[in-house]
A and B are shown apart, each in its own frame.
Chain A
């Protein structure tokens, strides 16, 4: 009868603090343009790990390599999962998603004419096991699974306070809400690692504060590892455990927010030579 959630949103079995995502010397070229040059980042389970840098520094390219949209020419990306170790650089995006890497996009990528609930249930797709025939009959295991999926989606709705929007078409929602739905869909995957590409871009101060609160809840209450790309330095410094700074496709600093904030190379990259 307790009101506690019955489903664990964290899909990782690793102990908190152990190495989870190991990006090792990744290089990515588009023709002659070197987007990433020997980038190495170690993400530990349970952290909010921010990747920051000026425009064109290669942040989104790096995320795209992790989720399998780009194939880097050099280096390796390893996802630790208990005893197992998955190599992501050669795997298809669908396989990577099944291993527990979920993401949101810089430009919202939702199904605009579907409701919030339907979009969230799509996040359950990687976990759906029944075949078409039994799903059509809505009988036996198919029915039990459907109910369990809906239950989990409803817990995510509760978690992100989307109750009043549950049945609304996503296209009719405000930008801030759409971003929240995108976070919700990623959470429905019960991810091991959550990649968020500028979740607060284009938001006003109040919406940013809300989103920061939800990201912290996802991390602290649900225990999910978050890799966060963000422009807003204030937000990054407030909510991250670790920060990696990219500039021109290279890692120029890596450490705790206070270490990175005091790093002369970072100040230079952000404020220009004069600083």
Chain B
């Protein structure tokens, strides 16, 4: 079997989009991948390839201060920015994405098909996302639900026209819209990775994902990487040395990581608000939809 690195080099110039709604297991998967590729894990040096919405990358490639562009003008250029960036890659890249799969005003997808090797769509029961997202954003669960239900929801869209964050604004739609945008596009192959399945059997599921993108890796290697990226170890690392990807106002990024925790954290009314809008997509993803509410 070729080494993982050689297999990645064979696919240079292409990218795997690790796409997810926030708090759906993206960071955990990136930690696993980092452990798989390097044999070690430092949560403040995760060895994957950045985030699609990086303002630093955009400005460096375009020679334009992106703060001078509106959202649509930026979108028109994002595909070319990434296409150019990949010309200099030495291997298959793994890039984190919270944007929905969307289009610029000319009808072109912002994720160029020609450079896209695969999408790993990481998804988590939206009922469990609520509390985790509220903690992550240092906001209330009701506000979190409001954003998850907002048809044109954004991440990192600043108020009053301020546009200085180190990430460009990311259109996510509502939770269902985000899922469907990625799963229903037909031009890039998609593998779904449910957070709950990973919790049950991380080794089998991470190995399945690697195989689906065409990377052969032994179960032993995957097991070693999974052990390095165990949730409790990541949390201990954060407690010991902080986590630079955490929003500053939040105590911990790695919180409980529990599946089904919503039963203790959400009111019936809050559960209802999620189910009302998202039960169809939840059913499609084979999540249990409590019958009392719908």
A, B from the same assembly: no
